[in-house]
Amino acid sequence: MKRTVITYGTFDLLHTGHVRLLERARSLGDRLIVGLSTDEFNAIKGKISVQTYADRKAVLEAIQFVDLVIPETAWNQKEKDIIQYGVDLFVMGDDWKGKFDFLKDSCEVLYLPRTAGISTSDLKKRIDKQL
């Protein structure tokens, strides 16, 4: 039986931490779906991406570990996506630990450790300092 894994995020300024998270998530199943935050949803969250949704999506689709990229448009869509795509495992970085435990009624939930020493926020700060 095939195992489907899903994760969500903005994936702006794609870096090794993102790639490692996606690689680990994909290694836990046969198919990896990425729910990519739209520009409109990021605005609701108070986030501004450097790259547009279309550009971030194109980059994710080029990664060998990613099988499908879907738009994330609202916090409450996760349960619907899990059912629609037959998801077995929901994966997020451990900085979200406990925040999505309510999904355990629908699928397995796993929080993976983040890659130490790199984050999009840190990259943006470093870029700002250099400008």
Which are the catalytic amino acids? 45, 47
Q: What is the pLDDT of residue 95?
A: 87
Q: What is the DSSP letter of 75?
A: G
Q: What is the pLDDT of residues 39-92, one digit of tens each?
A: 999 999 998 888 999 999 999 999 999 999 999 999 999 999 999 999 999 999
Q: What is the pLDDT of residue 28?
A: 97
State residue 122 phi and psi, 5-degree precision: -65, -40
Q: What is the pLDDT of residue 126?
A: 61
Mean pLDDT of the region 1-9: 94
The CA-atom distances, in angstroms, between 15 and each of 3, 32, 41, 59, 123 are 26, 18, 21, 11, 9
Give dist(CA 19, CA 107) in Å, integer.
23
Q: What is the DSSP letter of 29?
A: S
